[in-house]
């Protein structure tokens, strides 16, 4: 839920800020800047909550810590890529694929009742997926719209 709040709050701030500064909101900047802020937020979480996030990965996957740290770096790089028009299109496509690929980790976390921040098994469980799956689709649609569909 926190990433959604970061995304929407930053969108409002950036759209409002560009309106105040330029007389009209820059939705491309606001949309990509908001997603970049969200990715910075979630990317840093990979380093802060590494142990808990490692438990989100399938049991058969080796080097879980390396996967979590690598995906954290990937999110930080995607944040930068969205802010650079020359890289935005490619970043958008890669980010949409990334959002699809991480969904199984969220499903595993829900099945295990994982609280990734504490690494304990007292999380919300499968009911969390009623929020998370639509949220993941929302992130994909957001990325497509702001990074790919709107003109630079």
pLDDT digits (tens, 9 = 90+) for 48-64: 999 999 999 999 999 99
**pLDDT tens, 99-113?**
999 999 989 988 999
Q: How many residues does the chain have?
A: 152
CB 52 within 8 A of CB 105: no
Query: What are the tokens at 36?
Result: 């970049």
Give residue-wise pLDDT tens across range 125-140: 888 888 989 999 999 9
Position 125 scores a pLDDT of: 87
So where are the chain's domains?
Answer: 2-149
* pLDDT tens-digit series, residues 77-101: 999 999 999 999 999 999 999 999 9
Residue 20 CB neighbour total at 10 angstroms: 9
In whole numbers, what is the pLDDT of the chain averaged over residues? 94
pLDDT higher at 1 or 8: 8
**The pLDDT of residue 42:** 97
Alpha-carbon distance of 127 to 113, in angstroms, equals: 10
Q: Looking at per-residue confidence, does 150 or 71 come out higher? A: 71
pLDDT on residue 152: 59
- What pLDDT was estimated at residue 138? 97
Provide the H-helix boundaries in the chain: 2-22, 27-48, 50-54, 64-83, 85-111, 129-143
């Amino acid at each position: 839920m926190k990433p959604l709040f970061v995304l929407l709050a930053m969108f409002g701030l950036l759209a409002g800020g560009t309106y105040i500064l330029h007389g009209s909101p820059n939705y491309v900047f606001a949309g990509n800047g908001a997603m970049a802020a969200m990715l910075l937020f979630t990317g840093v979480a990979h380093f802060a909550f590494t142990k808990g996030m490692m438990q989100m990965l399938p049991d058969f996957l080796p080097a879980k810590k390396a996967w979590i740290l690598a995906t954290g770096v990937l999110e930080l790089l995607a944040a930068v890529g969205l802010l650079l028009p020359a890289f935005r299109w490619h970043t958008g496509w890669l980010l949409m694929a990334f959002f699809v690929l991480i969904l199984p980790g969220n499903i595993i976390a829900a099945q295990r009742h994982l609280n990734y921040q504490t690494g304990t098994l007292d999380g919300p469980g499968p009911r969390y997926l009623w929020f998370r799956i639509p949220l993941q689709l929302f992130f994909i649609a957001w990325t497509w719209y702001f990074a790919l569909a709107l003109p630079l």
